[in-house]
Amino acid sequence: MNESTPPPKASVLVVDDEPQIRRLLTLALEQTGYRVDCVETGQGALTSVAMHPPALVLLDIGLPDLSGMEVLRRLREWTQLPVIILTAADAENEKVTALDAGADDYVTKPFNTPELLARVRVAMRHAERREEMPVYQFGDLVVDLASRRLTLRGVDVPLTSTEYSLLRLLVRHSGKVLTHRQILREVWGPKAEEQTHYLRVYVARLREKIEPDPDRAQLLLTEPGVGYRFISPD
């Protein structure tokens, strides 16, 4: 590529059957520098992704043919491109189901445009670093996965094996919401998927060790009714 040639714009596929939502998302994304394609149906989404793979998909749950959840499941059979689900504000079950099915994040309607754009940026960055980074830095907190070492303001922070496994999972997926079920399955095994008290106890322990004020978490955030999200690294 010639140095004077600008890099190609990242493309976003908007899948929503409401014209006003498509217009709003298109305007916000194009003003930020993305190229936007829109489709109104689930089948249209599957065809578009297959023929012209985007950098990210914004996928509404309620579509006139296939449900957004079915579209997500079919996409996850063959691609790991980032997908952000658009849901109603009170649809906690849908959020959890979508995240368990492989969604990278969710945004509730009516959505805050700056928040949505931030979620898009985080999901794209996460997709770019699918390969595990050896060192993550979150302000004064540094997590070195290669050496299994955690430091806060240059001082080593001791962790139990379970605390480390939990932190490692959260850090590797920093910026992304992980559901209670996903975390329990990965850290404690499939038989522990309903044992949410395990998770509450260990999240509290981690916060005591890494948060300036454990009662006002800034790093390990709670997504009410859904799960947890570790902030994005510096």
Let me know if residue 4 belongs to a domain: no
Tell me the pLDDT of the chain (234 aa) as tens digits.
Answer: 444 444 568 999 999 999 999 999 999 999 999 999 999 999 999 999 999 999 999 999 999 999 999 999 999 988 989 999 998 877 788 889 999 999 999 998 888 899 999 999 989 888 776 655 688 889 999 999 878 889 999 999 999 999 999 999 999 888 889 999 999 999 988 888 888 888 999 999 999 999 989 999 999 999 998 999 999 876
Note down the domain range covering 86. 11-128
37 and 78 inside one domain: yes
97 and 31 inside one domain: yes
pLDDT at 226: 92
Q: Which residues neighbour 61 within 8 Å (Cβ) at sequence distance 6 or greater? A: 67, 68, 69, 85, 86, 87, 88, 91, 94, 98
113 and 21 inside one domain: yes
CATH of the domain at 152: 1.10.10.10
104 and 140 inside one domain: no
Let me know if residue 3 belongs to a domain: no
141 and 73 inside one domain: no
20 and 47 inside one domain: yes
86 and 154 inside one domain: no
Largest CA distance in the chain: 56
- Give the tens place of pLDDT for each residue, 59-91: 999 999 999 999 999 999 889 899 999 988 777
24: amino acid identity, one letter: L
Three-state secondary structure call for residue 127: helix
64, 94, 128: which is the final residue of a domain? 128
CA distances from 140 to 143, 155, 170, 211, 234 (A): 10, 10, 17, 10, 10
**Dist CA 153 CA 138 (whole Å):** 11
pTM for this prediction = 0.76
144 and 105 inside one domain: no
Total domains in the fold of the chain: 2
111 and 17 inside one domain: yes
CATH of the domain at 117: 3.40.50.2300
112, 128, 144: which is the final residue of a domain? 128
Structure tokens given for 143: 């997590």
Let me know if residue 31 belongs to a domain: yes
150 and 111 inside one domain: no
128, 147, 176: which is the final residue of a domain? 128
168 and 117 inside one domain: no
Q: In residues, how long is the chain? A: 234
**Dist CA 87 CA 11 (whole Å):** 21
pLDDT at 4: 43
Residue with tokens 């140095």: 3
- Give the tens place of pLDDT for each residue, 158-184: 999 999 999 999 998 888 899 999 999
